[in-house]
Each structure stands twice: as C-alpha cells, then as structure tokens.
A and B are shown apart, each in its own frame.
Chain A
C-alpha cells in the first residue's frame, strides 16, 4: 500500500546550520507529496507540497523536490533559526476523491541558539 518513511530520531542542530530531513515513499501511481509542520502546542499546518515529478515545493526558506527515480521528497533548509524548532511530517495523498493522507512518523527538530 501507500506509505511514507521518515528518518529515525530527533534532529538537533545549531542556529544557521543546514537542515535535511529524509522522506521516502511507496505508492502506486504518482501521488501528491506534502510536508506538514507542528509547532509546540499547535496542530499541523501545511509547509509545502508538490503534485508531480520534479516539482519543487518551497515556503519559509524550506524546499523539497519530488524525485520519482528515488521515490523521495527530502526537506531542506539552508540556514535554520530557533523558530524552526518543531515536528516535521512527510505525507502523501493515499487516494483520489477523498484527500486522505498517509503520514510519516515525524521528526522533532530542535535548533539551539
């Protein structure tokens, strides 16, 4: 079935460091792919998305490229800030017609001043 795998474990890094969070997927067809972010004490909100191969989603300095050949959608940011500390979830649309999503397990990102 359709599923998403995120790298294991929390990510701790210093301010202005480069951030990468890996996401790979298994799917039939070519699903839309998403990154959601959850700030402390809040629900999830859409960070960026890509709907077809080679599309690049971007927002707030974050980027992710839909790579069909490697079935990946890695999230990157060139210079993180303390305010980027959050949990990041990769997701894909499971089926057409009801917008159901399958989520990865999430990665806690902690940015230290």
Chain B
C-alpha cells in the first residue's frame, strides 16, 4: 500500500508565525509536490521537487518555501504566516518516469488567525 504521511491533520497558527508542514513517503519516489486546495479554486501547485535538494516553483510559490534534504521527506515552509494562507495543504508523490500517477497524503488543514 502506497503511503504518504503528513505530519498534522489540523493546525492552528497565528499571523507572523513560521510554519512547517512535513510530508514523508515510504517509497523511493523521486517527485514530490505541495498543493493547496481552496473551494472554487481546486488544487494549485505551490512547489515540487524531483530529487534531493532540487526544487521548482509551481503556480503560486509566493509566501512559501520548501526543503528536501532527504528523498523521503519534503517540507513546506510558511516564512511568516498570513490569514490568506488558511487552506488545505496536500502533499503528493510520483515516480520521475514511467507511471504518471500521483499519490496523495490526507492533507493538513491550516487555520491562520
């Protein structure tokens, strides 16, 4: 069974706090992705990584950064959380080549007060 684990299901933070969202995979997948999901907007890609220490911006990278020091772990960082970053955050992973299927974690619902 393919697993993607996200560190928290629910998180409440205050404006200006630094927030870390962790994603861990148990397979040897090269690609990892961070999305945010908002009603009426669907999924929007924030950042993705195709290898350790490699990263590329997605469609909405502003206000976010990422870290991938080990292949199995991909972290999303909100340097200074703002209320407009209240959202559901989804992590996904896939192989670099071959199967195109992305496997998703259960999501982290973040509320910024």
Contacts and interface: CB of A to CB of B under 8 A. Distances in A.
Interface of A: 32, 34, 41-46, 49, 89, 93, 97-101, 103-106
17 contacts: A41-B106, A43-B90, A43-B104, A43-B106, A46-B102, A97-B96, A97-B97, A98-B48, A98-B56, A99-B94, A99-B95, A99-B96, A100-B33, A103-B42, A103-B43, A103-B44, A106-B43
B104 A93 contact: no
Interface of B: 4, 31, 33, 35, 40-45, 48, 50, 56, 58, 90, 92, 94-97, 100-107
A99 B43 contact: no
A42 B106 contact: yes
- Identify whether the interface residues of B are mostly helix, strand, loop, or mixed: strand
Contacts of A98: 31, 48, 50, 56, 96
A42 B109 CA distance: 11
Contact of B31 (A44, A46, A89, A99): A99
